[in-house]
């Protein structure tokens, strides 16, 4: 998988496009208006409204740049036959020592699921799982040096 590409499901892509549109349009204008109103109050050195609006402007602009970067080289992941773990699949993983497998949505950290935790394809475990099939094992090292092993018990396309 090309690390310069962002892989998103159609709903995640559409949600991020809408967020970018809102942040670079109406929200940007609203923040600018708040900055202007705060300036009109006088001395900006001790103006909490001005400081808050400038801070919000910085955060908004950072998120706009982040969204533009993510959406610049995007790959829309459509449901597949899910024979191997990849973006847009749900993997049932059995961690060593556990009795029951746990399901994870595999994809970008920008994905959303009400029912499942998202496992990023750029995380240590996510990278090890990509391309693996049912009954294959993957292992990764935790930041504290422990090795965790999982067995893939099932793979299905995300809806």
Domain(s) of CATH 1.10.287.180: residues in the chain: 6-76
Class of domain 80-157: alpha beta
The larger pLDDT score, comparing residue 43 to residue 23, is at 23
Contact assessment for residue 153 and residue 133, using Cβ atoms and an 8 Å cutoff: no
**Mean pLDDT, residues 101-122 taken together:** 85
Q: Could you tell me the pTM of the whole model?
A: 0.68
DSSP H stretches of helix in 9-134: 10-24, 26-40, 48-72, 124-129
CATH code for the domain defined by 6-76 = 1.10.287.180
Domain(s) of CATH 3.10.50.30: residues in the chain: 80-157
41: which 2 tokens? 């109050």
How many helices (H) does the chain have, and how many strands (E)? 4, 7
Taking the CA atoms of 20, 16, 115 and 148 in sequence, report the sign of the dihedral they define: negative
**Mean pLDDT, residues 152-157 taken together:** 91
Average pLDDT, the chain: 88
**Mean pLDDT, residues 114-121 taken together:** 86
């Amino acid at each position: 998988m090309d690390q310069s590409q962002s892989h998103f499901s159609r709903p995640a892509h559409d949600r991020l496009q809408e967020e970018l549109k809102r942040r670079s349009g109406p929200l940007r204008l609203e923040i600018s208006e708040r900055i202007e109103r705060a300036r009109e109050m006088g001395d900006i050195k001790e103006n909490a409204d001005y400081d808050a609006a400038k801070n919000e402007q910085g955060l908004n602009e950072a998120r706009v740049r982040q969204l533009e970067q993510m959406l610049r080289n995007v790959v829309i992941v459509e449901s597949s036959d899910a024979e191997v773990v990849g973006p847009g699949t749900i993997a049932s993983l059995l961690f060593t020592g556990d009795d029951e497998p746990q399901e994870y949505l595999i994809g970008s950290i920008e994905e959303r699921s009400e029912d499942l935790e998202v496992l990023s394809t750029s995380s240590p475990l996510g990278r090890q799982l990509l391309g693996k099939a049912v009954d294959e094992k993957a292992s990764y090292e935790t930041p504290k040096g422990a090795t965790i092993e999982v067995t893939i018990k099932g793979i299905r396309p995300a809806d």
